[in-house]
Amino acid sequence: MKKPFISFTSDFGVQSQGVGVMEGVARSICPDAHIIHLMHGLPDFDIITGARTLETVNWLPIGYHVCVIDPGVGSKRRCLAIKTKRGDYLIGPANGVLIPASRVLGGIVKVVEITNSQYMRELISPIFHGRDIFAPIAAWLAKGTAIEELGPEINLKELIPPPYDEAILSGKEITARVISINKFGSFHLNILSSLWDKLGMQLNEVVELALPNEKIRLMFVKTFSDVIVNDPLIMKDDYGRMEVAINQGHFISKHPLGVGDKIIVRKIEK
């Protein structure tokens, strides 16, 4: 029989025992699961970058994916379990962080609010839902517990919206947002490469990028080295969205930008 697959994503960083403790709690309940850590180095409380990272679970086996980016822990925000079309379950706080991943997994089949304390650990503190609620819920689902057991169904319309929407194409222009910045100072946009294709750009054509405080021009290429060193570029990133970078350089330190900033991409008329 195939073993269930559980993944964890959080902003706990490397100086927290929380990662190991969540894995241990899940392992106690579901000893046979394969458990992996997608990423725990997310910026603190950054639900935009967190949501974009969680999108990459579509590269993992179908499984039970826990995300703990949870600025509202301790407040009254709800806890969710989402069943998706591909067959995965997403488990985490009801702050929108799970929604973009549910889209790449084919959409939401069912959402419940987690209220059944029978599937939680005893709550010794109001501040570590990753260990006391999300990890145990993932493990119980992995063991075969039905999502309906966890709590009442929630109407899709009641869900808190995702921290970013998909970029919008209008004529020759895409209105987009920065959804993550990587360690090389490059950034990723909420533009799916399939949306980009509708802009009708050929490789090596130039676009204009309206950043918050300036406009720049850059070439649409296949990879970094297709432009000369220190030149900016836009390309399809390695997870199906668009990335802006400088070949062998650091875009963000030259053009300061933050996650969430609005960017407009314009095709230049010849």
Tokens of 55: 């999108």
Stretch that binds a copy of itself, among 95-103, 210-218, 238-246, 253-261 (CB under 8 A): 238-246
184 close to 246: Cβ distance less than 8 angstroms: no
**Of 206, 208, 210, 201, the residue nearest 263 (C-alpha):** 210
Give the residue, chosen from 16, 117, 230, 253, that forms a contact with a copy of itself under the rule CB under 8 A: 16
Which of 75/212 has CB closer to a copy of itself? 75
Contacts (Cβ under 8 Å, ≥6 apart) of 214: 255
Binding of a copy of itself by 250 (CB under 8 A): no
Instruction: In angstroms, give the least distance from the CB of 13 to a copy of itself.
Output: 6
Which of 83/131 has CB closer to a copy of itself? 131
Give the residue, chosen from 149, 165, 197, 238, that forms a contact with a copy of itself under the rule CB under 8 A: 238
C-alpha span between 70 and 211 (Å, rounded): 29
Binding of a copy of itself by 19 (CB under 8 A): yes
Give the residue, chosen from 78, 83, 131, 177, that forms a contact with a copy of itself under the rule CB under 8 A: 131
Evaluated on CA atoms 65, 44, 50, 70, the torsion sign reads positive
Element (H, E) at 99: helix 99-104
Give the residue, chosen from 185, 240, 249, 260, that forms a contact with a copy of itself under the rule CB under 8 A: 240
Binding of a copy of itself by 152 (CB under 8 A): no
Tokens of 85: 């079309």
C-alpha span between 161 and 249 (Å, rounded): 35
Binding of a copy of itself by 13 (CB under 8 A): yes
Stretch that binds a copy of itself, among 16-24, 152-160, 169-177, 202-210 (CB under 8 A): 16-24
By CB under 8 A, what part of segment 182-201 binds a copy of itself? 182-184, 193
88 close to 30: Cβ distance less than 8 angstroms: no
